[in-house]
A and B are shown apart, each in its own frame.
Chain A
Amino acid sequence: MAKGIKDPSYKKRIGYHAGLLAGMALIVSAVLAIGNKQTHSEILQRLEEDKRATLDMVIPKNLYDNDLLSEIVKIIDIKNQETTVYVARKENYVVAVAFMMMEQGYAGPINVMLGVSKNGEILGARVISHQETPGLGDKIEIKKDRWILGFDGLSLENTRKNEWAVKKDGGKFDQFSGATITPRAVVKAIKHGLNLFNEKIIPGIIIHKASNKKTDN
């Protein structure tokens, strides 16, 4: 194209430009479609592996013998939001569930994956994604700090209502120097999660099981 003088005259026509642009768009779209087809199943598999890895962090593997990703119950919570609940079973009895809770942090939403045993005890909690300030608020990540492990074994029964707060607010959980809003949000998310477990998830799973039985027969 740099040698404009030698260009044949058809290259000057608007039709050529339009055709060229359309042709290029067509080729690029075709290549992208092929690329997407090639990688689609692979990407889905990777995402599934990611999901399994997060679930492994919140429910110990030796507790259950079913495939967590194959048994999913959808729960509608008080705010009318849908929560996906992964149900862990051993010999067909529910032993634990895992689900994601979202709470507004300092800089954006914090997503916490919670594993809760059938007695309402926390098996594990992990922050999956957040936008908190690096160096201050990111101590909620297991990679940066052991803080999040402090929730293991707690339940609404063994921890009083007013203890579910950071120390500054009179509760039992440490805040970080320079960051109170972030741990406060995580505590709130986990507490809400346990409430949701008691109020919605247990009844939800029972209903789900009953409707499953019907279809079995």
Chain B
Amino acid sequence: MTGKYKTIIKDGIWENNVVFSQMLALCPLLAVTGTATNGLGMGLTTIVVMVIACCIVSMSRDIITQEVRIPIFVLLIAGVVTLVDMFINAYLHELYKVLGLFIPLIVTNCAILGRVESFSSRNNVFPSILDGLMMGIGFTLVLVVLGATREITGSGTLFANASLLLGDSFSFLEIVVIEDYKGFLLMILPPGGFIALGLILAGKRVIDRKIKTTKFNYGDADNLVTLDH
């Protein structure tokens, strides 16, 4: 049983990462990662939505039938996103001002529908929540790495405005990496997102290859990415 949970954790964060190997959720990913802070905020919100959606679907999987499952999943996810949107607006308003535009974008995050459909609808509540959480953390990881890359190269700072998102106690995160940096506009604009993502994906494959070779698994080195969509 513990082995199963280990696989879920490993899958979510690395092996079957939403972005790295499933290539899902690219729309919100590229849209918000102008700064690391935005990426982190989007990631945290996605984790919340993902966990709730996975939990609900897993609990009601016995009454949902194969034929109408997709509209029901879409309905549930859209409902959860709208609720989260309203609650953040009401009680975490500062965060809402940073993320407001992007929260409805979570509906378009096919990674959530993907996990709900391929995992939660077939598994018990606890593994489903864990899967949602881990997939969410994996997604957040990519968001923060991509956001940090673009922010450092694009504007020379790291975690700018983090105190707006997480409260004043986190202002230590705000670092000026390069003093008097003139800025590299391309990295902040959408094309920079694609370029940085491409480099990060390439980096992931290099690391995977390294891991494979150290494990002396030469046999299937070409099948590193297991779930290409």
Contact = CB atoms under 8 A, between A and B. Distances in A.
A16 B65 contact: yes
Nearest to B155: A135
A135 B72 contact: no
A212 interface: no
Interface of B: 34, 61-69, 71-72, 75-76, 78-79, 82-83, 86-87, 89-91, 93, 96-97, 121-122, 154-155, 183, 185, 188-189
B68 A32 contact: no
Given A4-B66, A20-B64, 13 more contacts: A1-B61, A1-B121, A12-B65, A21-B72, A24-B75, A28-B75, A31-B83, A32-B79, A36-B86, A38-B86, A134-B188, A134-B189, A135-B183
B61 A2 contact: yes
B82 A17 contact: no
Given A28-B75, A28-B76, A31-B83, A17 B90 contact: no
12 contacts: A1-B69, A1-B121, A2-B61, A2-B122, A21-B71, A24-B72, A28-B76, A32-B83, A36-B86, A42-B90, A133-B185, A134-B185
Top 9 A-B pairs, shortest CB-CB distance: A42-B90, A39-B90, A28-B79, A46-B93, A39-B86, A2-B122, A17-B68, A135-B183, A35-B83
A24 B89 contact: no
A20 B65 contact: yes
Contacts of A210: none
Contacts of A7: 65
A11 B65 contact: yes
Query: DSSP class of A's interface residues: helix, strand, loop or mixed?
Result: helix
Interface string A24-40: 11001001100110110
A1 B89 CA distance: 36
B90 A43 contact: yes
A1 B188 CA distance: 45
A69 interface: no
A49 B154 CA distance: 33
B86 A43 contact: yes
Given A25-B75, A133-B185, A135-B183, A1 B64 contact: yes
Contacts of B67: 17
A56 B66 CA distance: 56
Contacts of B183: 135
Contacts of A42: 90-91
B124 to A, nearest CB: 11
B213 to A, nearest CB: 38
Interface in A119-176: 133-136
A39 B189 CA distance: 35
A11 B64 CA distance: 9
Nearest to B93: A46
A134 B34 contact: yes
A11 B62 CA distance: 10
B94 to A, nearest CB: 10
A134 B66 CA distance: 46
Interface string A80-111: 00000000000000000000000000000000
A43 B89 CA distance: 6
B24 to A, nearest CB: 22
Contacts of A31: 79, 83
A24 B79 CA distance: 11
B171 to A, nearest CB: 15
Given A31-B79, A134-B34, A20 B87 contact: no
B64 A135 contact: no
A35 B87 contact: yes
